[in-house]
Amino acid sequence: MDIQFYNTLTRKKEKLNPIKPGEVSIYTCGPTVYNRSHIGNFRTFIFEDILKRVLLLVGYKVNHVMNITDIDDKTIKKANEENKNLREITSKYTSEFIEDMNTLKILPANKYPAATDHIQEMIAMTTTLIEKRNAYVTDDGSVYFSINSFENYGKLANLDMSSQKQTDRVASDEYTKDNIQDFVLWKSWKKEDGDISWNSPWGKGRPGWHLECSVMSTQYLSDHFDIHCGGVDNIFPHHENEIAQSCAALETDFVNIWMHSEHLNMADEKMSKSLGNIKTIPELLNDGYSAESLRYALISSQYRSKLSFSINKLEDAKKAVHRINDVFEKLNERSIESDSLPEEYNKFIESLSDDLNTPKALGILFNYLRKVNRKISKNELSKSEASMGLNFIKQADKIFALLVDKVIIPESISKLIVLREKARKEKQWELSDSLRDKIKEKGWIIEDTPDGYKCYPIINYKK
């Protein structure tokens, strides 16, 4: 079956045609490790996870590289504010990021290269760009990319470059489309950088953010690879600049398909660390939402539509996760050995193959579950139908990962649960809340569902 994805560069859906038959190479922009990543970031990381899982399910091998941005304006600012060295800051947030990725059952990348381990390669690419006259050195020992030297500049972000006069240079990593200028490849050392610098042919300094991804993607996936992903905020300037750098330095097509996920919003604004309107994974687990509920909430919209974060959405997700787990258990009890799948399965795969239409695929699955549930309640489900249903859920779970792992609850926690259930029955809400807190202190989350409580360990969560 053909798979097609929307390519931001060509603004249309395109059939996936991997450069190396049977294998898809993917680069995804990773976290900037100056803070704990928020659920908005994880919307993008889960979209990338779904992309990978779909490719794996239909039989491709996937080679996935995700960078760790451990040097940029924000990481340096944070290290200075906290009076800590850069490594201390970035290693803390890198391990928290990996923890959250595991909690959310996101398949790990094949490689997580860190920018600070690739400074020499960044200096080499900058040197090439100067030699090819795509870049120039300024008096202070910085190096800038000359956007006029690259014919295709602006294609990804669909910029009208005809009216564009390059007037100045931009030294910061992030800027807007109203401010299209020559951008920095290498930044000369400034007082604010403290002891963070590397030697280069142009003096002490550090790389610009955009250069990092051009170097690491092509180093690990080769000059030309299949798919590059990120959130829509990465289109300009980050990915536009990556294209300019890589194509000019390496004379390559660089990337075949550019895929970008829309933002997760809080009210009407993008959830972002700088606006401070964020929720982290540990916070949401603490509020009683399981990793599966968070996954469901994030994939309930197609990745190219905006999605608003809300408690209602999480509550709906909780119910959906409960339903799939509940039907799974019922089918498990009734099924026999078989590997047949219902006819709905083809439609399910078709929807995912059409630009990762997760809401449509979830709709097909949940309609099917409803049908099966009705038969179960009327005692009309045959063993072979039960097996088909079970196989469908198992296949679907290779994409969605909504089945909750069976957990063994230790006795000390079970005792507290029994006391809490008793308190709830007696409407002693304060006591039941304090027992819930005690359970949480011991590393367990208790979630009340229409069928009674569910109890999960807080995975890898450090207080």
Is residue 205 within the footprint of ligand AMP (CB under 6 A)? no
Q: Residues interacting with Zn ion, by CB under 5 A? A: 29, 213
Angle between helices 311-334 and 358-377 (to 10 degrees): 50
Q: Work out how close the CB of 227 gets to ligand AMP at its nearest, in angstroms, rounded to a whole number.
A: 14
Q: Find the angle CA(228)-CA(230)-CA(232) to the nearest 5 degrees.
A: 125
Site string for ligand AMP, 10-39 (x = CB under 6 A): -------------------x-xx----x--
| 87-95, 127-135, 266-274, 333-341 -> range binding ligand AMP (CB under 6 A) | 266-274
Q: Are residues 379 and 323 in contact, defined by beta-carbon separation less than 8 angstroms?
A: no
Is residue 432 within the footprint of ligand AMP (CB under 6 A)? no
Helices and strands: H and E segment counts in the chain: 14, 16
Find residue 303's DSSP bridge partners.
Answer: none
Q: Work out how close the CB of 162 gets to Zn ion at its nearest, in angstroms, rounded to a whole number.
A: 28
Is residue 222 within the footprint of ligand AMP (CB under 6 A)? no
Is residue 371 within the footprint of ligand AMP (CB under 6 A)? no
Is residue 230 within the footprint of ligand AMP (CB under 6 A)? yes
Q: Work out how close the CB of 114 gets to ligand AMP at its nearest, in angstroms, rounded to a whole number.
A: 13
CA dist., res. 335 & res. 312, Å (int): 34
Is residue 44 within the footprint of ligand AMP (CB under 6 A)? yes
264 binds, among Zn ion, ligand AMP, none (CB under 5 to 8 A by kind): ligand AMP
CB atoms within 10 A of CB 146: 18
By beta-carbon proximity to ligand AMP, the closer residue of 40 and 205 is 40
Is residue 67 within the footprint of ligand AMP (CB under 6 A)? no
In angstroms, what CA-CA distances link 165 with 88, 195, 210, 229? 42, 36, 22, 30
| 2-10, 216-224, 262-270, 448-456 -> range binding ligand AMP (CB under 6 A) | 262-270
| 111-119, 263-271, 355-363, 451-459 -> range binding ligand AMP (CB under 6 A) | 263-271
What distance, in Å, lies between the first and last C-alpha atoms of the chain? 46
Number of residue whose CB is nearest ligand AMP: 231
By beta-carbon proximity to ligand AMP, the closer residue of 41 and 200 is 41
Is residue 43 within the footprint of ligand AMP (CB under 6 A)? yes
CB atoms within 10 A of CB 158: 13
Residues 267-326 within binding reach of ligand AMP (CB under 6 A)? 270-272
Q: Work out how close the CB of 293 gets to ligand AMP at its nearest, in angstroms, rounded to a whole number.
A: 18
Is residue 246 within the footprint of ligand AMP (CB under 6 A)? no
Q: Work out how close the CB of 417 gets to ligand AMP at its nearest, in angstroms, rounded to a whole number.
A: 36
CA dist., res. 187 & res. 328, Å (int): 56
CB atoms within 10 A of CB 86: 21
In DSSP notation, 2-59 reads --EEEETTTTEEEE---SBTTEEEEEE---BTTS--BHHHHHHHHHHHHHHHHHHHTT
| 41-49, 113-121, 246-254, 384-392 -> range binding ligand AMP (CB under 6 A) | 41-49
Q: Work out how close the CB of 275 gets to ligand AMP at its nearest, in angstroms, rounded to a whole number.
A: 9
CA dist., res. 226 & res. 28, Å (int): 11
Q: Are residues 212 and 122 in contact, defined by beta-carbon separation less than 8 angstroms?
A: yes
41 binds, among Zn ion, ligand AMP, none (CB under 5 to 8 A by kind): ligand AMP
Cis peptide before 108 (omega within 30 of 0): no
- How many residues contact ligand AMP, by CB under 6 A? 19
213 binds, among Zn ion, ligand AMP, none (CB under 5 to 8 A by kind): Zn ion
By beta-carbon proximity to Zn ion, the closer residue of 104 and 216 is 216
Residues in the chain: 463
Q: Are residues 279 and 309 in contact, defined by beta-carbon separation less than 8 angstroms?
A: yes
Q: Which residues of 225-262 are buried (b: 16+ CB within 10 A; e: fewer)?
A: bbbbbbbbbbbbbbbbbbbbbbbbbbeeebbbbbbbbb
For residues 267, 270, 275, 277, the Cα torsion angle rounded to the nearest 10 degrees is 40
By beta-carbon proximity to ligand AMP, the closer residue of 200 and 217 is 217
Binding residues (CB under 6 A) for ligand AMP: these are: 29, 31-32, 37, 40-41, 43-44, 69, 230-231, 233-234, 261, 263-264, 270-272
